[in-house]
Chains A and B, each alone.
Chain A
């Protein structure tokens, strides 16, 4: 049973560019959440998608946007990259109700230079 898969695993972008990260949820999960983990910090909630809509959003600027497809997979887009966007981006899938069902992917390491 495949868990959460994320692609790519590593990425290097230049300041000002745009990036798209991808996530396929665990089988049977229909809710996808994205987290940003900066170096030395815990993961911070970016947003959550359910039924192809953004259900909840954390304290992140509009440069961060997302999408969920009918097969429940999801994309995270970041525009106008800043050096401070360098982080590990984690995708988690879950059943719709409780956080105990979260399964995290291994993440995408984004470096902005």
Chain B
């Protein structure tokens, strides 16, 4: 049972425009959410996170929005750059104090120059 879902396997965006990646979750026990970026032949790299007590977190060109009632989060990248082309994974962590992550299946972002 996939508790974290990324329903768009791929997304193409023109350089300079906004990229919006979406993620849905089903487990209401999740209280911490993260986005990871992954290049081929490399491990996932932490990008940005958000706690369930917030609805927005911003870091430079990256902003994550959390809608707890809809169990939905999104990652906005503005402006998109060709170097942003990668697979993006959404992940969630439960409230139990343990810190294992539940990952989505990823969205491949291609930024077209």
Contact = CB atoms under 8 A, between A and B. Distances in A.
**Chain B contact patch, size range:** 20 to 34
B4 A42 contact: yes
B99 interface: yes
A17 interface: no
A101 B45 CA distance: 11
B41 interface: yes
Interface residues of A, number: 28
Interface stretch (B58-66, B68-76, B77-85, B103-111): B103-111
Contacts of A102: 34, 46, 99, 101
Residue from A42, A45, A98, A100 whose CB has the most chain B CB atoms within 10 Å: A42
B101 A45 contact: yes
A43 B44 contact: yes
Contacts of B43: 4, 90, 92, 104-107
B46 A100 contact: yes
8 contacts: A42-B91, A43-B89, A48-B98, A58-B100, A99-B93, A101-B99, A102-B101, A105-B43
